[in-house]
Amino acid sequence: MSSFEFRRAVPEDAEALSHLIKGAMVTYCEESEIPEDHLESMTEEVSTIKDRIANNYCLCCFDGDEPVGTITLSLVFNPLKFNFSDKTMDYLKDIVIAGYISRFAVRRDLRSGGLGVDLINAAIELADRKGCDCALLHTAVNNMRMVAFYKNRGFEVIDSESSRGYLRGLLGRRI
C-alpha cells in the first residue's frame, strides 16, 4: 500500500472527488477516442457524488486533504441487469451478488506508480468481504492500456456493446 491516507470518502469529499474524476476521465476519453459528452461522469453533479458516497463504498487515497485516487464499489444484487448477450448471460447465470467497480481515478502525476493497483486490489478485497461472487466493470475496449491493466489483475473481457456511442466492454473477475 502507498504512503497516502487510505479511507472511505465522506460527503464533504464530493467536490474534490468530482475534480479528480473529471480530470482522469479527460485522459480516459483521449486514450479511448470517446467524446467527453459520452461519459456521464463528465457532467455528474456534486450531489450525485454525495449520493454515491452515502450508498456505496467510495474508497479514496488522500495526500493531506486532497484526494489523489478513488474507486467506487457498488453491491449489485441483480447482476443480470448487465446482460445483453448469451455470452454475458452465461458468465452471470450463477452470480448472486456482484461488486460493480466504477469511478476509478488516479491523479495524472501519480499514474503508473502503483496507486491504481492498490485501489483496484482494495475494491476486490472489499467485494470478497461483502460476499460478492465476482467483480464487474466497464471500460472502452479500444483503450488497450486500461484493458491490459484490468487483465493483469485477473479480469477478463466478457462481452462488449455500444449503447453509449462507443464500444464498451464488460469485464469480470471471479472471486
Query: Could you tell me how far CA 120 lies from the centroid of its own chain?
Result: 8
The predicted pLDDT at position 45 comes to 94
Query: Domain residue spans in the chain?
Result: 5-174
* Residue 59: how many other CB atoms lie within 10 Å: 21
The predicted pLDDT at position 22 comes to 96
| 66-76/98-106 β-pairing | antiparallel
The predicted pLDDT at position 1 comes to 44
Between the alpha carbon of residue 70 and those of residues 57, 58, 97, 115, the distances in Å are: 10, 7, 22, 9
Q: Does domain 5-174 have CATH number 1.25.40.10?
A: no
Regions of the chain where pLDDT drops below 50 = 1
The predicted pLDDT at position 173 comes to 98
pTM reported for the whole predicted model = 0.94
pLDDT in tens, 23-46: 999 999 999 999 988 888 998 999
The predicted pLDDT at position 37 comes to 87
